[in-house]
Structure 1
Amino acid sequence: MPEKVISVCEEKIYEQLYREHAEKICYYLYYKYGDMEKAQDIVQDSFAKLWINCSKILFGAAKSFLYKIANNASINAIVHQKTVLKYQEIEQKTYTNESPEFQMEEKEFMHRLNMAISGLKEGQREVFLLNRIEKKTYKEIAEMLGISVKAVEKRMHLALVILRKKIKTPNL
C-alpha cells in the first residue's frame, strides 16, 4: 500500500509546522543577526511563502524550506541595510574640528575593528556583540544561546584576544 503524502496545504499541518518551527527560526535569526523585530517579520514572511508554495513543498522538506527562505531574507535585508547606510554616509556632510589626519586614523581604526569583528568565529562574534552592543550580561547571553556562563566567558576572552591582535595600531 503506498505511503500517504502529507500535504503542507492542510491547515492543521501548516499550523503544526508553525508551532514547531516559528519560534526556533526566529531565535536562530535573532542570534545570528541581532534584530528580534526583523527576525519576527522574516519568520512571518517565510511562513507566508510556505503557504503560497504549499502545493510544491513536501512535508519533510518544509523545515529546510523555511530556514532557507528565512536565512536568505535576512542576508538580503543586511545587504540592503548596508547599501542604505553607505548612501546615507555619502549624503551626510559632517563638519568637525578634528584634523584630517585624526579623521583618517579614526576611519582606518574603525575599518580594522569592523574587519576584525567580522573575522571572529560566529560564536565569539555573537557573544561579543550581544555583550558590547546589546549590553547583555554573560548570564543573559548564556540563557539566550543555551550554553554555560563559562562558555560565554571563554568565547568573550578569545574574541577580545583576537580583536586586540588584529586592531593593534601599526605605530605603537
Structure 2
Amino acid sequence: MATELHKDICKEKVFEGIYNRYIKDLQSFLFYKYGDVSNPEDIAQEAFVKLWGNCKSITASKAKSFLYTVANNLALNSVKHNKVVLKYKQKRPKHYTNESPEFLLEEEEFLKKYQRVLEDLKEEHRVAFLLSKVEGKKHSEIAELLGVTQKVVEYRIYTAFNTLKSELGEFRIK
C-alpha cells in the first residue's frame, strides 16, 4: 500500500485510474453543492486538467483532496461570476433622455458640421489634432510619430483648433 501512495500520477495509466475513480463522484459533489448553475461536468474536467498540470508535485494519495479543493474553488468562482452577470442584467439601461428635442437636433447638426470641417482640414493638421484630442497623445509622442518637431505639432494642432473654432462659431466652442 505504501508504494501505491507514492505513485507518479504523471504516468498515463495512473492518471487514468485516478480519473476513472473520482470523475463521477466529483461531478455529483459539484451538482449537489452548486446545482446545474456552475456546469459540474466542465468544472470537474477543468479540475483534472489542473491536476495534470501539477502532477509532478501531487502524490496519488493527495489527488482526491486536490481535485475537490480545486473543483470547489472553480465552482465558487463560477457562482460569483454568475452573480455579477445577473446583477448587470438587472440594471436596465435608460431609453430616455432629459435633453429637449431642440438640443438633440442641435447636437446632431453640430456633429455633422464637425465631421465636415474635420474632413476639410489639411491632412497634417487633422492627423495631429486627432492624435492629440481623440487618442490623447502628448505633443512629443505625436512629433516622434510624424517625424517632425514638437513646435510643428503644436502649430498644426493650434491651426486645426482655430479652424474648428471659426467654422463652428455658432455653437460657442471654448
Give the match for residue 15 of structure 2.
14
Q: 1:80 to 1:37 in 2, by over 3 A?
A: closer
Cα deviations by residue, 1:39-92 (Å, 9 ceiling, x for unpaired): 000011000000011001111100000000000000000000001100111135
- Residue 37 of structure 1 and its aligned partner are, at CA, apart by 7.3
CA contact (8 A) 2:7 2:59 kept: yes
CA contact (8 A) 2:38 2:75 kept: no
Q: 1:26 to 1:3 in 2, by over 3 A?
A: closer
Give the match for residue 27 of structure 2.
26
1:7-156 equivalences in 2 (<5 Å): 7-35=8-36, 38-91=39-92
Distance 1:93 1:17 in 2: 53
CA contact (8 A) 2:47 2:70 kept: yes
Distance 1:3 1:70 in 2: 27
Instruction: Give the SS at the match of 2:78.
Output: helix
Distance 1:36 1:87 in 2: 17
- Residue 7 of structure 1 and its aligned partner are, at CA, apart by 0.6
Instruction: Give the SS at the match of 1:69.
Output: helix
Q: Figure out how many residues of one structure are paired with residues of the other and give that number.
A: 93
**Paired amino acid for 1:39:** P
Distance 1:36 1:13 in 2: 31
CA contact (8 A) 2:43 2:75 kept: yes
Distance 2:82 2:93 in 1: 16
**Paired amino acid for 2:81:** H
Cα deviations by residue, 1:23-45 (Å, 9 ceiling, x for unpaired): 00000100111118710000110
Structure 2: runs of 5+ lacking an equivalent: 96-174
Cα deviations by residue, 1:136-164 (Å, 9 ceiling, x for unpaired): xxxxxxxxxxxxxxxxxxxxxxxxxxxxx
CA contact (8 A) 1:26 1:36 kept: no
Rg larger for: 2
